[in-house]
Protein backbone atom coordinates (compact mmCIF):
# COMPACT_ATOMS: atom_id res chain seq x y z
CA UNK A 1 0.00 0.00 0.00
CA UNK A 2 1.06 3.57 -0.47
CA UNK A 3 1.85 5.33 2.77
CA UNK A 4 3.08 8.69 3.96
CA UNK A 5 5.67 8.60 6.73
CA UNK A 6 6.29 10.81 9.70
CA UNK A 7 9.94 9.92 9.42
CA UNK A 8 12.37 9.81 6.50
CA UNK A 9 12.45 6.96 4.00
CA UNK A 10 15.59 4.94 3.39
CA UNK A 11 16.87 3.76 0.03
CA UNK A 12 20.12 1.84 -0.41
CA UNK A 13 22.05 1.26 -3.59
CA UNK A 14 25.14 -0.83 -4.03
CA UNK A 15 25.97 -4.38 -4.91
CA UNK A 16 22.54 -5.10 -3.52
CA UNK A 17 19.40 -3.01 -3.85
CA UNK A 18 17.54 -4.01 -0.73
CA UNK A 19 14.08 -2.80 -1.71
CA UNK A 20 12.58 -1.80 -5.00
CA UNK A 21 8.98 -0.68 -4.84
CA UNK A 22 6.92 -0.44 -7.96
CA UNK A 23 3.28 -0.34 -8.88
CA UNK A 24 1.94 -2.99 -11.22
CA UNK A 25 -1.65 -3.79 -12.06
CA UNK A 26 -2.95 -1.44 -9.39
CA UNK A 27 -1.03 -2.98 -6.48
CA UNK A 28 2.30 -2.20 -4.89
CA UNK A 29 5.00 -4.85 -4.97
CA UNK A 30 8.16 -4.82 -2.88
CA UNK A 31 10.94 -7.13 -3.95
CA UNK A 32 14.64 -7.65 -3.45
CA UNK A 33 16.86 -7.33 -6.49
CA UNK A 34 20.52 -8.25 -6.73
CA UNK A 35 22.99 -6.39 -8.91
CA UNK A 36 26.22 -8.09 -9.95
CA UNK A 37 27.22 -11.41 -8.37
CA UNK A 38 26.53 -10.85 -4.71
CA UNK A 39 24.21 -12.41 -2.14
CA UNK A 40 21.60 -10.05 -0.63
CA UNK A 41 22.44 -8.63 2.76
CA UNK A 42 19.87 -9.38 5.44
CA UNK A 43 18.60 -6.16 6.92
CA UNK A 44 15.91 -5.45 9.50
CA UNK A 45 12.57 -4.11 8.32
CA UNK A 46 13.26 -0.75 10.02
CA UNK A 47 16.40 1.37 10.14
CA UNK A 48 17.62 2.54 13.54
CA UNK A 49 20.03 5.50 13.56
CA UNK A 50 23.70 4.61 14.06
CA UNK A 51 23.09 0.85 14.19
CA UNK A 52 24.20 -0.21 10.69
CA UNK A 53 27.57 0.29 9.05
CA UNK A 54 27.48 1.31 5.42
CA UNK A 55 29.30 -1.10 3.14
CA UNK A 56 32.28 0.17 1.11
CA UNK A 57 30.40 -0.27 -2.17
CA UNK A 58 27.05 1.12 -1.02
CA UNK A 59 25.21 4.35 -1.62
CA UNK A 60 22.72 5.25 1.12
CA UNK A 61 19.89 7.66 0.25
CA UNK A 62 17.38 9.21 2.64
CA UNK A 63 14.37 11.35 1.78
CA UNK A 64 14.53 14.00 4.51
CA UNK A 65 11.77 16.01 2.88
CA UNK A 66 9.69 15.59 -0.26
CA UNK A 67 7.04 18.27 0.00
CA UNK A 68 6.05 21.81 -0.88
CA UNK A 69 6.53 25.23 0.74
CA UNK A 70 3.20 24.62 2.48
CA UNK A 71 2.08 22.77 4.41
CA UNK A 72 5.14 21.66 6.34
CA UNK A 73 3.84 18.92 8.62
CA UNK A 74 5.18 16.21 10.89
CA UNK A 75 4.43 13.79 8.08
CA UNK A 76 6.21 15.68 5.30
CA UNK A 77 8.87 18.37 5.26
CA UNK A 78 10.08 20.43 2.33
CA UNK A 79 12.60 19.01 -0.13
CA UNK A 80 15.92 17.59 1.06
CA UNK A 81 17.86 14.45 0.11
CA UNK A 82 20.70 12.89 2.10
CA UNK A 83 23.28 10.81 0.24
CA UNK A 84 26.01 8.92 2.09
CA UNK A 85 28.67 6.91 0.28
CA UNK A 86 30.74 3.94 1.35
CA UNK A 87 33.87 6.12 1.22
CA UNK A 88 32.54 8.22 4.14
CA UNK A 89 31.33 11.24 2.16
CA UNK A 90 27.95 12.82 2.90
CA UNK A 91 26.08 15.17 0.56
CA UNK A 92 22.81 17.06 0.97
CA UNK A 93 20.81 17.92 -2.13
CA UNK A 94 18.56 20.82 -1.10
CA UNK A 95 17.65 21.66 2.50
CA UNK A 96 14.02 22.79 2.40
CA UNK A 97 12.16 24.25 5.37
CA UNK A 98 11.65 21.76 8.18
CA UNK A 99 13.91 19.09 6.68
CA UNK A 100 16.67 19.47 9.26
CA UNK A 101 14.36 17.99 11.88
CA UNK A 102 14.63 14.72 9.97
CA UNK A 103 18.38 15.09 9.43
CA UNK A 104 18.96 15.44 13.17
CA UNK A 105 16.76 12.39 13.77
CA UNK A 106 19.30 10.36 11.76
CA UNK A 107 22.01 11.33 14.29
CA UNK A 108 24.77 11.58 11.68
CA UNK A 109 28.36 12.46 12.47
CA UNK A 110 27.95 16.17 11.93
CA UNK A 111 31.61 16.86 11.18
CA UNK A 112 30.96 14.97 7.92
CA UNK A 113 27.77 16.87 7.04
CA UNK A 114 29.35 19.93 5.46
CA UNK A 115 28.17 20.10 1.83
CA UNK A 116 24.85 21.34 0.42
CA UNK A 117 24.03 21.29 -3.28
CA UNK A 118 21.14 23.68 -3.93
CA UNK A 119 18.99 23.22 -7.02
CA UNK A 120 17.49 26.71 -6.70
CA UNK A 121 16.71 29.31 -4.07
CA UNK A 122 13.06 28.75 -3.19
CA UNK A 123 12.43 28.32 0.53
CA UNK A 124 11.18 24.77 0.12
CA UNK A 125 14.65 23.92 -1.22
CA UNK A 126 17.02 26.09 0.88
CA UNK A 127 14.89 27.29 3.80
CA UNK A 128 16.79 25.26 6.40
CA UNK A 129 20.31 26.26 5.33
CA UNK A 130 20.76 28.39 8.45
CA UNK A 131 19.41 25.60 10.67
CA UNK A 132 22.13 23.27 9.39
CA UNK A 133 24.78 26.00 9.49
CA UNK A 134 24.27 26.75 13.18
CA UNK A 135 22.81 23.43 14.36
CA UNK A 136 25.59 21.41 12.74
CA UNK A 137 28.21 23.73 14.23
CA UNK A 138 26.76 23.12 17.68
CA UNK A 139 26.59 19.37 17.05
CA UNK A 140 30.13 18.58 15.95
CA UNK A 141 31.07 20.36 12.74
CA UNK A 142 34.37 22.19 13.25
CA UNK A 143 34.95 23.17 9.60
CA UNK A 144 32.94 25.57 7.39
CA UNK A 145 29.65 24.62 5.78
CA UNK A 146 29.91 24.69 1.97
CA UNK A 147 26.93 25.64 -0.19
CA UNK A 148 27.18 24.81 -3.89
CA UNK A 149 24.64 26.38 -6.18
CA UNK A 150 23.90 28.17 -9.45
CA UNK A 151 24.29 31.76 -10.51
CA UNK A 152 21.22 33.77 -11.44
CA UNK A 153 20.33 36.08 -14.30
CA UNK A 154 21.58 38.91 -12.05
CA UNK A 155 24.22 38.71 -9.30
CA UNK A 156 21.66 39.34 -6.56
CA UNK A 157 19.72 36.25 -7.67
CA UNK A 158 22.65 33.84 -7.35
CA UNK A 159 23.90 31.48 -4.66
CA UNK A 160 26.76 33.77 -3.60
CA UNK A 161 24.30 36.59 -2.84
CA UNK A 162 22.08 34.15 -0.94
CA UNK A 163 25.02 33.07 1.24
CA UNK A 164 26.11 36.66 1.88
CA UNK A 165 22.53 37.43 2.85
CA UNK A 166 22.55 34.60 5.38
CA UNK A 167 25.78 35.93 6.88
CA UNK A 168 24.24 39.39 7.30
CA UNK A 169 20.96 38.05 8.62
CA UNK A 170 22.59 35.84 11.24
CA UNK A 171 25.55 38.07 12.12
CA UNK A 172 24.32 38.47 15.70
CA UNK A 173 23.88 34.70 16.09
CA UNK A 174 27.31 33.83 14.70
CA UNK A 175 29.13 36.61 16.56
CA UNK A 176 27.53 35.59 19.84
CA UNK A 177 28.84 32.04 19.56
CA UNK A 178 32.44 33.00 18.76
CA UNK A 179 34.98 31.67 21.19
CA UNK A 180 32.52 29.14 22.61
CA UNK A 181 32.34 27.01 19.47
CA UNK A 182 35.20 26.13 17.08
CA UNK A 183 36.13 29.17 15.00
CA UNK A 184 36.10 27.48 11.59
CA UNK A 185 32.74 25.80 12.18
CA UNK A 186 31.02 29.19 11.96
CA UNK A 187 32.22 29.64 8.41
CA UNK A 188 29.81 29.58 5.47
CA UNK A 189 31.34 29.33 2.00
CA UNK A 190 29.53 29.78 -1.32
CA UNK A 191 30.61 27.88 -4.42
CA UNK A 192 28.63 29.52 -7.20
CA UNK A 193 28.79 28.16 -10.73
CA UNK A 194 27.25 29.17 -14.05
CA UNK A 195 23.69 27.85 -14.21
CA UNK A 196 23.95 27.55 -18.00
CA UNK A 197 26.67 24.91 -17.96
CA UNK A 198 25.49 21.55 -19.29
CA UNK A 199 27.27 18.72 -17.53
CA UNK A 200 29.94 20.93 -16.01
CA UNK A 201 31.82 19.52 -13.02
CA UNK A 202 30.98 21.44 -9.84
CA UNK A 203 32.60 19.04 -7.37
CA UNK A 204 35.29 16.37 -7.81
CA UNK A 205 37.07 14.79 -4.87
CA UNK A 206 37.69 11.41 -3.26
CA UNK A 207 36.45 9.55 -6.33
CA UNK A 208 33.16 11.49 -6.39
CA UNK A 209 32.15 13.63 -9.36
CA UNK A 210 29.09 15.90 -9.28
CA UNK A 211 27.95 17.66 -12.42
CA UNK A 212 25.16 20.19 -12.96
CA UNK A 213 22.84 20.98 -15.85
CA UNK A 214 20.10 23.59 -16.35
CA UNK A 215 16.48 23.21 -15.27
CA UNK A 216 13.37 25.13 -16.39
CA UNK A 217 11.66 26.64 -13.36
CA UNK A 218 10.19 30.15 -12.89
CA UNK A 219 13.45 32.09 -13.50
CA UNK A 220 16.86 31.49 -15.00
CA UNK A 221 19.11 29.90 -12.39
CA UNK A 222 17.58 26.53 -11.48
CA UNK A 223 19.65 23.36 -11.99
CA UNK A 224 19.74 19.61 -11.51
CA UNK A 225 22.66 17.41 -10.44
CA UNK A 226 24.24 14.05 -11.17
CA UNK A 227 26.57 12.29 -8.71
CA UNK A 228 28.85 9.51 -9.97
CA UNK A 229 30.92 7.33 -7.64
CA UNK A 230 32.31 3.81 -7.74
CA UNK A 231 30.14 2.77 -10.69
CA UNK A 232 26.94 4.08 -9.07
CA UNK A 233 24.97 7.12 -10.17
CA UNK A 234 22.46 9.37 -8.42
CA UNK A 235 20.53 12.08 -10.28
CA UNK A 236 18.60 14.80 -8.47
CA UNK A 237 16.22 16.96 -10.44
CA UNK A 238 15.21 20.13 -8.68
CA UNK A 239 11.90 21.70 -9.65
CA UNK A 240 11.58 21.86 -13.42
CA UNK A 241 9.34 21.54 -16.41
CA UNK A 242 10.45 18.66 -18.69
CA UNK A 243 13.73 19.61 -20.35
CA UNK A 244 16.27 18.19 -22.77
CA UNK A 245 19.19 18.48 -20.34
CA UNK A 246 17.65 16.12 -17.80
CA UNK A 247 16.80 13.51 -20.44
CA UNK A 248 20.38 13.47 -21.71
CA UNK A 249 22.22 13.60 -18.37
CA UNK A 250 20.05 11.13 -16.44
CA UNK A 251 19.91 8.33 -19.01
CA UNK A 252 20.58 4.90 -17.53
CA UNK A 253 21.42 6.18 -14.05
CA UNK A 254 20.78 4.02 -11.00
CA UNK A 255 18.72 6.32 -8.77
CA UNK A 256 16.86 9.11 -10.58
CA UNK A 257 14.78 11.68 -8.68
CA UNK A 258 12.53 14.05 -10.57
CA UNK A 259 9.57 16.06 -9.40
CA UNK A 260 6.21 14.36 -9.88
CA UNK A 261 3.82 17.25 -9.49
CA UNK A 262 0.04 17.30 -9.36
CA UNK A 263 -2.22 17.06 -12.35
CA UNK A 264 -3.99 20.40 -12.93
CA UNK A 265 -7.11 18.82 -11.41
CA UNK A 266 -5.10 17.65 -8.41
CA UNK A 267 -3.69 21.14 -7.87
CA UNK A 268 -7.19 22.60 -7.96
CA UNK A 269 -8.25 19.99 -5.41
CA UNK A 270 -5.23 20.24 -3.09
CA UNK A 271 -4.60 23.99 -2.99
CA UNK A 272 -7.70 25.53 -4.53
CA UNK A 273 -6.00 26.98 -7.61
CA UNK A 274 -8.23 28.40 -10.38
CA UNK A 275 -8.13 26.21 -13.53
CA UNK A 276 -5.86 28.47 -15.63
CA UNK A 277 -3.30 28.96 -12.85
CA UNK A 278 -3.43 25.24 -12.04
CA UNK A 279 -2.41 24.38 -15.62
CA UNK A 280 0.37 27.00 -15.68
CA UNK A 281 1.88 25.86 -12.38
CA UNK A 282 1.51 22.10 -12.88
CA UNK A 283 2.47 21.84 -16.54
CA UNK A 284 4.61 24.88 -17.44
CA UNK A 285 6.59 25.55 -14.24
CA UNK A 286 6.60 22.01 -12.83
CA UNK A 287 6.26 18.51 -14.30
CA UNK A 288 2.83 16.80 -14.12
CA UNK A 289 2.53 12.99 -13.88
CA UNK A 290 2.27 12.45 -17.63
CA UNK A 291 5.46 14.46 -18.14
CA UNK A 292 7.25 12.53 -15.39
CA UNK A 293 6.24 9.25 -16.99
CA UNK A 294 7.49 10.30 -20.41
CA UNK A 295 10.80 11.46 -18.92
CA UNK A 296 11.39 8.15 -17.14
CA UNK A 297 10.41 6.17 -20.22
CA UNK A 298 13.25 7.97 -22.01
CA UNK A 299 15.76 7.85 -19.14
CA UNK A 300 15.13 4.20 -18.15
CA UNK A 301 16.66 4.42 -14.66
CA UNK A 302 17.30 1.54 -12.32
CA UNK A 303 14.81 3.22 -9.97
CA UNK A 304 12.62 6.24 -10.73
CA UNK A 305 11.64 8.41 -7.77
CA UNK A 306 8.94 11.08 -7.88
CA UNK A 307 8.55 13.79 -5.25
CA UNK A 308 7.26 17.33 -4.58
CA UNK A 309 3.60 16.95 -3.74
CA UNK A 310 1.49 16.87 -0.62
CA UNK A 311 0.97 13.18 0.05
CA UNK A 312 -2.72 12.23 -0.02
CA UNK A 313 -3.97 8.77 -1.06
CA UNK A 314 -6.45 10.09 -3.62
CA UNK A 315 -3.79 12.34 -5.19
CA UNK A 316 -1.27 9.47 -5.20
CA UNK A 317 -3.69 7.31 -7.19
CA UNK A 318 -4.45 10.15 -9.58
CA UNK A 319 -0.73 10.63 -10.26
CA UNK A 320 0.05 6.92 -10.58
CA UNK A 321 -2.72 6.40 -13.11
CA UNK A 322 -1.27 9.16 -15.30
CA UNK A 323 2.33 7.95 -14.96
CA UNK A 324 1.44 4.35 -15.80
CA UNK A 325 -0.11 5.39 -19.11
CA UNK A 326 3.40 6.15 -20.39
CA UNK A 327 5.92 4.46 -18.04
CA UNK A 328 5.94 0.92 -16.65
CA UNK A 329 9.42 0.73 -15.05
CA UNK A 330 10.45 0.62 -11.35
CA UNK A 331 8.81 3.56 -9.57
CA UNK A 332 8.63 5.08 -6.10
CA UNK A 333 6.64 8.10 -5.03
CA UNK A 334 8.98 9.54 -2.44
CA UNK A 335 7.77 8.91 1.09
CA UNK A 336 6.52 5.43 0.21
CA UNK A 337 7.82 2.94 2.76
CA UNK A 338 11.14 1.41 1.81
CA UNK A 339 12.57 1.06 5.28
CA UNK A 340 11.17 3.30 7.95
CA UNK A 341 13.55 5.27 10.12
CA UNK A 342 12.74 4.57 13.76
CA UNK A 343 13.98 7.44 15.89
CA UNK A 344 13.10 9.16 19.15
CA UNK A 345 11.01 12.32 19.10
CA UNK A 346 13.45 13.91 21.55
CA UNK A 347 16.72 13.04 19.92
CA UNK A 348 20.13 14.48 20.71
CA UNK A 349 23.06 14.79 18.34
CA UNK A 350 25.71 12.03 18.70
CA UNK A 351 28.84 12.67 20.79
CA UNK A 352 31.28 15.13 19.23
CA UNK A 353 34.77 14.07 18.15
CA UNK A 354 38.03 14.88 19.89
CA UNK A 355 38.94 17.03 16.88
CA UNK A 356 35.84 19.13 17.54
CA UNK A 357 36.73 19.52 21.23
CA UNK A 358 40.29 20.57 20.42
CA UNK A 359 39.47 22.85 17.47
CA UNK A 360 40.64 26.46 17.81
CA UNK A 361 38.33 28.83 19.68
CA UNK A 362 39.14 32.52 19.90
CA UNK A 363 37.60 35.98 20.00
CA UNK A 364 34.92 35.23 22.56
CA UNK A 365 31.97 37.62 22.44
CA UNK A 366 31.88 40.31 25.11
CA UNK A 367 29.40 42.77 26.63
CA UNK A 368 29.45 46.54 26.78
CA UNK A 369 29.90 48.17 30.20
CA UNK A 370 26.21 49.05 30.14
CA UNK A 371 25.16 45.36 29.91
CA UNK A 372 27.90 44.17 32.27
CA UNK A 373 26.67 46.61 34.93
CA UNK A 374 23.24 45.01 34.64
CA UNK A 375 24.38 41.63 35.94
CA UNK A 376 22.71 40.63 39.19
CA UNK A 377 25.10 40.70 42.14
CA UNK A 378 23.14 37.96 43.87
CA UNK A 379 24.47 35.32 41.48
CA UNK A 380 28.11 34.33 41.09
CA UNK A 381 28.94 31.89 38.29
CA UNK A 382 31.55 29.17 38.87
CA UNK A 383 35.18 29.95 38.01
CA UNK A 384 36.26 29.19 34.46
CA UNK A 385 38.53 26.12 34.01
CA UNK A 386 41.94 26.63 32.43
CA UNK A 387 42.08 26.30 28.64
Task: Encode pLDDT of 148-200 as tens digits.
Answer: 999 999 999 999 999 999 999 999 999 999 889 999 999 999 999 999 999 99
| Higher-confidence position of 81 and 340 | 81
- Does residue 314 form part of some domain? yes
pLDDT band at residue 100 using 50, 70 and 90 as cut-offs: very high
- The dihedrals phi and psi of 313, each to the nearest 5 degrees, come to -50, -45
pLDDT at residue 43 in the model: 72
- Does residue 371 form part of some domain? no
State pLDDT tens for residues 275-301. Answer: 898 898 888 999 999 999 999 999 999
| Angle separating helix axes 129-138 and 159-169, nearest 10 degrees | 60
Instruction: Give the domain CATH number at 293.
Output: 3.60.15.10
DSSP letters for 134-185: HHHHHTT--S-EEEEEE--SSGGGSHHHHHHHHHHHTHHHHHHHBTTB-TGG
- Does residue 383 form part of some domain? no
- Does residue 372 form part of some domain? no
pLDDT band at residue 337 using 50, 70 and 90 as cut-offs: very low
- Does residue 381 form part of some domain? no
- Break the chain down into helix, strand, coil percent, rounded to 5: 25, 25, 45
* Helix/strand/coil for 339: coil
Long-range interactions of 151-157: CB distance < 8 A, separation 24+: 151/192, 151/193, 151/194, 151/195, 151/221, 152/121, 152/195, 152/219, 152/220, 152/221, 153/219, 153/220, 153/221, 157/121, 157/219, 157/221
pLDDT band at residue 270 using 50, 70 and 90 as cut-offs: confident
Q: How far apart are CA 185 and CA 350, in angstroms?
A: 17
- Does residue 348 form part of some domain? no
| Higher-confidence position of 310 and 233 | 233
- Does residue 368 form part of some domain? no
State pLDDT tens for residues 340-369. Answer: 677 777 777 788 999 999 999 998 888 899
Residue pair 91/103 in contact (Cβ under 8 Å)? The answer is no
pLDDT at residue 24 in the model: 25
Containing structural domain, residue 210: 9-343
Domain count, the chain: 1
- Does residue 175 form part of some domain? yes
Question: In degrees, to the nearest 5, what angle opens at C-alpha 359 toward C-alphas 355 and 360?
Answer: 165
Amino acid sequence: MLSSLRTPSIFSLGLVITALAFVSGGSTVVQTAVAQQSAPQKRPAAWYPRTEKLGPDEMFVVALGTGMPTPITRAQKSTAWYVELGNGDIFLFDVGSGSMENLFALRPEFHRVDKIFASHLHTDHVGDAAALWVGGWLSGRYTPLHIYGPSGSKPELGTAAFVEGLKKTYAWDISGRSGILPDAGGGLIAHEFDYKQDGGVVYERNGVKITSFPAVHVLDGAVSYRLDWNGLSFVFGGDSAPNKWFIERAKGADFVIHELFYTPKGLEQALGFPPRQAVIVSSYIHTPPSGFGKIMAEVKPRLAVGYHTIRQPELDLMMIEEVRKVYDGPLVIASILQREVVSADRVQAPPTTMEYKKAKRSGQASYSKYINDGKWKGYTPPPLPER
